[in-house]
Amino acid sequence: MKVFISADIEGVAGVVHREHTARDGREHDRARVLMTEEVNSCIEGALSWGATEVVVNDSHGTMRNLIPEAMHPEAEYITGSPKMLAMMEGISPEFDAAIFLGYHSRMGNHGILNHTFHGGVIRNIRINNQDMGEIALNAGIAGVFGVPVVLVTGCQYAAKEALDFIPEIETAVVKHTINRQTAKNLSPQKARYLIKEKTIASLSCLPKIQSVSLQGPFLVEITYLHPGLADAAEILPTVERVNSTTHRFETDDFITAFRYIRSLIAIAGGLN
């Protein structure tokens, strides 16, 4: 059995503020330790269930957050950026299951540190009239390769978002959002135990969880936080301007849609 882990940081227990998540944040190194240990607990759960290979993709910000010397020795990890598939770099049909660790809810939803890829750029992403955040978009990428997402860890709103999109999925709620920068957290030790147990439970339910199958064509609408961001991103010729803050494009291929989304965010993000 091969297991793929996409590891973000906002959904890690104890992480609640930009000082935890930003590369120059005063508490970023502490958050990196918390993230790495939650990843290790997930790896331990996968190995105890019988996984023969575990690959972790560092999926937050610069994608250089996992602490190499503290990583579980039986797993391999992907670090650095840019990556063509970003948070899903490394996924392939060879994997039996994918796990989203430390994830958060989408921009516009409730949830600790919620955003969609770039909190300074994106207000909303809709595909075929369905609002999508990182959980749904990344599950869609896994689905292209036929890999089911079996577990999401994070706050209660990330869990709800995952269950709304994949009803059979397992969730590990390691903290409860109070507001966007405040949460009631499990202790690191309890969070790690829960993640390990939920990893085992999710892999035991693998036959019941189907991979996401999204059917094209895909009509994608990206709404930015303000018109200036849309002005900047309009340089990409594939998009149509719908209104002052929204672009639209259509494609038959989900991976192509994702790559356009990431490109538009990168262009608009240049203003920040």
Residues 113 and 141 in one domain: yes
Number of domains in the chain: 2
- Per-residue model confidence as pLDDT tens digits over 108-118: 999 999 999 99
Residues 132 and 161 in one domain: yes
Residues 192 and 224 in one domain: no
Is residue 116 situated within a structural domain? Answer: yes
Q: Tell me, what's the pLDDT at 113?
A: 98
**Tens-digit pLDDT profile for the chain (272 aa)?**
999 999 999 999 999 999 999 999 999 999 999 999 999 999 999 999 999 999 999 999 999 999 999 999 999 999 999 999 999 999 999 999 999 999 999 999 999 999 999 999 999 999 999 999 999 999 999 999 999 999 999 999 999 999 999 999 999 999 999 999 999 999 999 999 999 999 999 999 999 999 999 999 999 999 999 999 999 999 999 999 999 999 999 999 999 999 999 999 999 998 76
The verdict on whether 115 is a catalytic residue reads yes
Share of the chain above pLDDT 90, in %: 99
Which of residues 208, 239, 254 is at a domain's end? Answer: 208
Q: Tell me, what's the pLDDT at 251?
A: 97
Residues 6 or more apart whose CB falls under 8 angstroms from that of 109 comprise 133, 157, 161
Residues 48 and 151 in one domain: yes
Which of residues 208, 228, 250 is at a domain's end? Answer: 208
Q: Tell me, what's the pLDDT at 72?
A: 98
Residues 241 and 194 in one domain: no
Residues 181 and 247 in one domain: no
Is residue 8 situated within a structural domain? Answer: yes
| DSSP strand pairing (97-103 vs 149-155) | parallel
Residues 247 and 166 in one domain: no
Is residue 213 situated within a structural domain? Answer: no
DSSP per-residue letters across the chain: -EEEEEE-STTSTT--SHHHHSTT-TTHHHHHHHHHHHHHHHHHHHHHHT-SEEEEEE-STTS--S-GGGS-TT-EEE--S--TTGGGTT--TT-SEEEEEEE-PPTTS-STT--SS-TTTEEEEEETTEE--HHHHHHHHHHHTT--EEEEEEEHHHHHHHHHH-TT-EEEEEEEEEETTEEEE--HHHHHHHHHHHHHHHHHTGGG-PPP---S-EEEEEEESSHHHHHHHTTSTT-EEEETTEEEEEES-HHHHHHHHHHHHHHHHTT-
- Per-residue model confidence as pLDDT tens digits over 91-128: 999 999 999 999 999 999 999 999 999 999 999 999 99
Is residue 159 situated within a structural domain? Answer: yes
Q: What's the CATH number where 255 sits?
A: 3.30.1360.130
Residues 106 and 161 in one domain: yes
Q: Tell me, what's the pLDDT at 270?
A: 87
Residues in the chain: 272
Catalytic residue among 115, 118, 176, 247: 115
For residue 80, give the nearest of 100, 104, 56, 98 by alpha carbon: 56
- Per-residue model confidence as pLDDT tens digits over 181-218: 999 999 999 999 999 999 999 999 999 999 999 999 99
Q: What's the CATH number where 113 sits?
A: 3.40.50.10780
Q: Residue 118's domain spans which residues?
A: 2-208
Residues 114 and 244 in one domain: no
Residues 152 and 255 in one domain: no
Tell me which amino acid residue 188 is: P
37 within 8 A of 188, measured Cβ to Cβ:
yes
Tell me which amino acid residue 79 is: T
Which of residues 179, 208, 237 is at a domain's end? Answer: 208
Is residue 161 situated within a structural domain? Answer: yes
Residues 14 and 148 in one domain: yes
Residues 180 and 223 in one domain: no
40 within 8 A of 19, measured Cβ to Cβ:
no
